[in-house]
């Protein structure tokens, strides 16, 4: 139940933020919260960070399959009594992936296209800017931690604009990134193949079986 509650919570927060941005900001509009943090509305045609390696249908179907596999794996881990921390982080990753799938599945059906000239609005289902599985993912978090110009004395790139941490991402992307990084830092043992434990158990069993005849012989010798 905790896993389901976490997934629902992340999805609700993610969609509230995306729908507000989609219906209150024009494409490319920015709000500066701090010098190193801005709300910048863009739409992502492909994978996280704007990558476009795959056809949109292929990418959406891949995401759905990935979420299904992760969901099955979480169920399996819960059934075997996995640590709460491990299940929590897996659920965080699943929720983030599902949040971006929701955009692809439905945003094209229920919203008009976003534009730098006007704010998008809701339309009757099926009358939006794209078909099923081809909607664009809404991104908004932008952290230009370093926003400056490179020294002019540098060869080739001197004087050009430089931004450190340039990607614009959303709450769902954050959930995926935090989940993956935390898994690698704190749950590496949980991710190890369980075959090692099984092999060790088998070795212990074989040792006991090997020791049993000798033990019986000692017992018989003592009885004599």
Catalytic residues: 139, 173
How far apart are alpha carbons 102 and 133 in whole angstroms? Answer: 9
Edge-to-edge, what's the strand order for the sheet holding 30-34?
30-34, 37-44, 137-142, 168-169
Residues 6+ apart with CB under 8 A from 33: 39
**Strands in 81-195 per DSSP E:** 137-142, 146-149, 161-164, 168-169
Taking the mean position of all CA atoms in its chain, how far away is CA 90? 9
Q: DSSP secondary structure string, 55-101?
A: -HHHHHHHHHHHHHHHHHHHHHHHHTT--HHHHHHHHHHHHHHHHHH
Structure tokens at 30: 């920015």
**Other C-beta atoms within 10 Å of 24: how many?**
11
């Amino acid at each position: 139940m905790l896993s389901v509650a976490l997934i629902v919570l992340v999805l609700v927060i993610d969609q509230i933020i995306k729908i507000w941005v989609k219906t209150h900001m024009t494409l490319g509009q920015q709000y500066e919260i701090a010098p190193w943090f801005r709300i910048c509305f863009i739409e992502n045609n492909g994978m996280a960070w704007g990558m476009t390696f795959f056809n949109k249908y292929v990418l959406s179907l891949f995401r759905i399959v990935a979420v299904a596999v992760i969901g099955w794996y979480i169920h399996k881990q819960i059934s075997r009594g996995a640590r709460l921390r491990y299940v929590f982080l897996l659920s965080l990753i699943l929720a983030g992936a599902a949040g971006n799938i929701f955009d692809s599945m439905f945003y094209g059906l229920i919203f008009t296209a976003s534009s730098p000239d006007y704010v998008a609005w809701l339309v009757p289902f099926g009358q939006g800017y794209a078909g099923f599985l081809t909607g664009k993912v809404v991104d908004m978090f932008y952290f230009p931690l370093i926003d400056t110009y490179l020294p002019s004395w540098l060869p080739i790139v001197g004087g050009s604009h430089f931004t450190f941490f340039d990607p614009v991402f959303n709450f769902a992307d954050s959930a995926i990134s935090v989940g993956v990084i935390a898994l690698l830092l704190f749950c590496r043992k949980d991710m190890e193949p369980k075959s090692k434990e099984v092999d060790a158990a088998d070795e212990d069993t074989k040792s006991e079986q090997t020791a049993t005849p000798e033990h019986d012989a000692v017992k018989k010798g003592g009885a004599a």
